[in-house]
Amino acid sequence: MSKDSSWMVQVSRVDSTFLTLGHCFPPELPKKETRSKVMARMFRESSKHRRMRQFFGLIAPVSLLWLFVAGPVGAQWNPMNPVLSVQQEDDGVQLTLQNGALKLQVCSDFIIRVHYSPTAVFPSRQEFLVIKDSWPATKWETQTSVDAITLSTSRLKVVVARKDSSVTFQDSAGKTLFVQNEVSMTPAVVNGEQTYHAELYSKLWGSYESFYGLGQHQSGVWNYRGEAVDIAQDNTNISIPFVLSSNGYGIFWNNTSRSRFNNRFLNALYLSSEVADVLDYYFLYGPEFDKIIGGYRELTGAPPMFGKWAYGFWQCKNKYNTQEELLGVAHKYRQLHIPADNIVQDWFWWYTMGEPVFDKSRYPDPPGMLEDLHKNNFHLMISFWPYFRPGTKTYEEMDKRGFFIDKTKVVSFHPAQMGVYDAFNPEARKYYWNLMDQALFKIGVDAWWLDTTEPETEDRETNILVTNKTFLGNGARYANMFPLMTTSAVYQGQRSTSDKKRVFLLSRSAFAGAQRNAAAVWSGDVNYFRPALLDHGHWRICFRQPGRSAIPRAVYPLVSIRSVQSTTASAWNAFDEPE
């Protein structure tokens, strides 16, 4: 086994504890190779970095001169924000700064919450991502000196410099893990709301750390050192504001608006959000990644156990057009004695979009179809969308009750203006589940394929929430949260209806906390070119369900075969039969 393949095996073991969101985590290094040597080797082997070395060799003298000249000037651009006073509280300390206030909350001996407000007030707002609001008593202490305030637990030290309120996280031995050098809250008007842009800056000079996580993105990157990532929902880009460092810590960025991880300049890390009242994040120390991920689950919720069938082989295509076709495939599997546990009914089983009733001309007996599948030990997962078409009874009822965020063009094959349901409205979520319950769950449907949960709209580049209002208010404030609220609607709805069947959701998008809703994700509508297949290697390590329904076997037979081979190594095994 090569070194690279051994890394993959080790990572799979780590990732199995967190399969529902599929974050990517770093490998354990081969015993004879230090992390610095690995990074050096990667640097040498990359043609991109060879060009960078040549470039830096030319500009290094100029760069050094600029540093000497511009250093003192740069300090004037970002004035220091010194600590004026310190107040000890039951669960941490609050520091009054020259501009604003900083709060350090001790959640446990390895989790510290950091709050910064541009004013002396920390406004309260409903929390959606973090569900743990009370923590057992943790032993901690503070020490003050002329230069710093130090908060210590048995495993962490947090040092706040009095001169500039920078925050340094250290392990119990004093090793520096992460430094919050500066924070800023810039007043802004976003979608009509007076708010702030939030930004954290950390200097990484001399750091060899790597960064992992952030969900799933299409750059083909595993280690995000030197990269920038938009934390914004989009088809094939699943955004999770949670990053892990090879230094042995994680940061959960507690913000639901469009955000950004920016390390394009290797020696500077920026974390920012478009809409914020305060800057809010959790620092989680491991150093083991299992420990960090366990802390993340403690914050945002643990994934419930799936039914055993969910780990079996799946059969899917785009799409079965009739009841006869779907049952014929299921029967053929049994005739050939091929084990399979789940068959998937993709879209257009309905009369029209948004009216969740089987088209009886093509599916004459849905209850009988489910009975047949269950007798043959198949489970049925069915596609369900968050869009509703004008002219249907469902649309008219939802429109009358104010259950839509906006009415817009969804995608080209749906020319009518669609209503996108307001997943932030608790009554709309109940109505959404009731549609699924009455039409599908009551006749035996086993699992839910929640499509376009970003939500996706074709006539705009940005998320539809950014320029609209929701039940909660400014949609831009909650732009990343639609998949969390939609998976909550279905999970909570099914659990309130029956406890006889475990919930399983396959969502095209996800956000922090979706794992507590029994939500797995798939890669979205990826293309069928070879680079996408290579990216599947990253997703497979993350235990992600690769979507390959767009791979035409007649045109790209080798890519199709390799894609199926790749899937057999996944936690979920499925074959998407192309048209």
Name the least confident of 218-232, 398-412, 556-570.
556-570
Whether 95 and 86 have beta carbons less than 8 Å apart is answered as yes
Token pair for 57: 């060799």
Report all structural domains of the chain as residue ranges with CATH numbers, in order of start.
80-300 (2.60.40.1760), 308-521 (3.20.20.80), 528-579 (no CATH)
pLDDT at 511 over 90: yes
pLDDT at residue 386, rounded to an integer: 92
- Rounded CA gap, 340 and 8, in Å? 26
- Rounded CA gap, 453 and 441, in Å? 20
Token pair for 535: 């990216």
Q: Tell me the angle at which helices 289-300 and 3-15 cross, rounded to the nearest 10 degrees.
A: 30
Which tens digits make up the pLDDT trace of 153-208?
999 999 999 999 999 999 999 999 999 999 999 999 999 999 999 999 999 998 99
pLDDT at residue 216, rounded to an integer: 87
Q: Report, as an integer, the average pLDDT of 405-411.
A: 69
Q: Report, as an integer, the average pLDDT of 570-574.
A: 50
What is 148-172 written as a DSSP string? Answer: EEEEE-SSEEEEEETTT--EEEEET
Token pair for 315: 């059969």
pTM of the shown model:
0.82
The DSSP secondary-structure symbol of 27 reads: P
pLDDT at 143 over 90: yes
pLDDT at residue 289, rounded to an integer: 95
pLDDT at 311 over 80: yes
Radius of gyration of the chain (CA): 25
Q: Which residues partner with 112 through β-bridges?
A: 106, 283
pLDDT at residue 413, rounded to an integer: 58
pLDDT at residue 460, rounded to an integer: 63
Which of the pair, 76 or 313, is modelled with greater confidence? 313
Q: Report, as an integer, the average pLDDT of 539-557.
A: 43
CA dihedral 184, 174, 224, 47 (to 10 degrees): 120
Burial class (CB in 10 A: 0-12, 13-18, 19+), 449: buried
pLDDT at residue 520, rounded to an integer: 93
Whether 277 and 196 have beta carbons less than 8 Å apart is answered as yes
How many CB atoms sit inside 10 A of residue 115's CB?
17
Q: Report, as an integer, the average pLDDT of 346-356.
A: 88
What is 466-525 written as a DSSP string? Answer: GGSEETTEEGGGGTT-HHHHHHHHHHHHHHHH-SSS---EEES---TTGGGGTEEEB--S
